[in-house]
Amino acid sequence: MNAVMSLKGRDFLTLLDFSTEEILDLLALAADLKAKQKAGVSYTPLSGKTMAMIFEKPSTRTRVSFEVGMIQLGGQAMYLNGNDLQLGRGETIADTARVLSQYVDVIMIRTFAHQKVEELAEYASVPVINGLTDDDHPCQALADLLTIYEAKKTFQGVKLAYVGDGNNVANALLVAAAKVGMNVAIACPPGYEPKAEYVEAARQIGEKTGATVVVTHDPLVAVAGADAIYTDVWTSMGQESERKPDYLFLHCLPAHRGEEVTAGVMDGPNSVVFEQAGNRLHAQKAILLSVL
């Protein structure tokens, strides 16, 4: 796989740092790893490798998927609570990065300020993976791309609609969709738009890949003609309409049933939310295998 060769030693902080080809290679590798696991094939190329997982924000999917992924690839994962580390409060982020680099082969961090991840990566001599920041969620976006591709077999001419706050998931999806040439529309409440720099970057990328990028306050505009509808918290949201009969429903979970999505949609035939959650495992295994 090309991705395995070209990404060795790289940090995985945002999809902005990766080319269209690199992202497609990661998706191909994730699909291959998923097929191996489904077939019961033991594949442990990371035997002897250790990952430190720093959590300053609680998590179910991120912790379990990364830990299981590392174990399935033959390595080990170590959970580090942010309160135990006192990251940036006692020992500096730079010193923490240097110390952990002496012990482990890769660091995954889930935290608040994106700047903290960038500083950790700057001073660590091992790859750093962004498990989530306030600005970005690249691991989720990679899993989302895998989920959509599995269903649609292409990104060309496919439209992804996201309805919710313009949060880290929205920022990451803008970039992810634009990078692979998929049309994307984000509908969010006034004052809760995605970060302007992500919108601008996605539009510039879309000019090269052919993807259209729309940010609106009207969910009906966003979901019109959408192949995939993705929601996150937006309690004032109305019901989506004008859906295609073969649309996909996505959600990064956890979902507030009855608020951003009805149970009928979430548990319905068009929902791929649990497959999407499962794809976090395979996408992150592809990242780990590529950077190590």
CATH number at residue 167: 3.40.50.1370
Question: Burial code of 222-261, b = ≥16 C-beta within 10 A, e = fewer?
Answer: bbbebbbbbbbebeebeebeebeeebbbbbbeebeeeebb
Rounded Cα–Cα distance for residues 110 and 57 (Å): 6
DSSP class of 68: H
162 and 185 fall within a common domain: yes
147 and 119 fall within a common domain: no
Domain count within the chain: 2
272 and 145 fall within a common domain: yes
Domain that holds residue 183: 140-277
pLDDT of amino acid 49: 98
Residue type, 203: R
144 and 185 fall within a common domain: yes
Rounded Cα–Cα distance for residues 239 and 229 (Å): 12
Dihedral of the CA atoms 157, 163, 164, 169 (nearest 10)?
Answer: -20
Whether the CB-CB separation of 133 and 116 falls below 8 Å is answered with yes
133 and 145 fall within a common domain: no
Alpha helices in the chain (DSSP H): 2-6, 20-38, 61-72, 82-85, 93-103, 114-123, 138-152, 168-179, 196-209, 219-223, 263-266, 273-291
Rounded Cα–Cα distance for residues 175 and 180 (Å): 9
Could you tell me which of 290, 235, 246 has the C-alpha nearest to residue 272?
Answer: 246
pLDDT of amino acid 240: 40
**Cα-based angle 112, 117, 123 (whole degrees, multiple of 5):** 145
Whether the CB-CB separation of 234 and 189 falls below 8 Å is answered with yes
65 and 162 fall within a common domain: no
Rounded Cα–Cα distance for residues 258 and 244 (Å): 22
106 and 199 fall within a common domain: no
262 and 155 fall within a common domain: yes
Tokens of 90: 């006692």
Whether the CB-CB separation of 77 and 51 falls below 8 Å is answered with yes
pLDDT of amino acid 53: 97
Cα 115–chain centre separation: 18
133 and 144 fall within a common domain: no
pLDDT of amino acid 196: 98
Compute and round to an integer the Cα radius of gyration of the chain.
18
pLDDT of amino acid 57: 87
pLDDT of amino acid 59: 86
DSSP class of 261: B
pLDDT of amino acid 253: 58
Which residues have a catalytic role annotated?
A: 110, 137, 140, 232, 252, 280
pLDDT of amino acid 36: 97
- Work out the number of other CB atoms within 10 angstroms of the CB of residue 86: 10
Intervals of the chain under pLDDT 70 = 1-5, 86, 88-89, 233-274
Could you tell me which of 93, 121, 119 has the C-alpha nearest to residue 107?
Answer: 121
Axis-axis angle for helices 196-209, 168-179 (nearest 10): 10
63 and 188 fall within a common domain: no
Whether the CB-CB separation of 66 and 51 falls below 8 Å is answered with yes
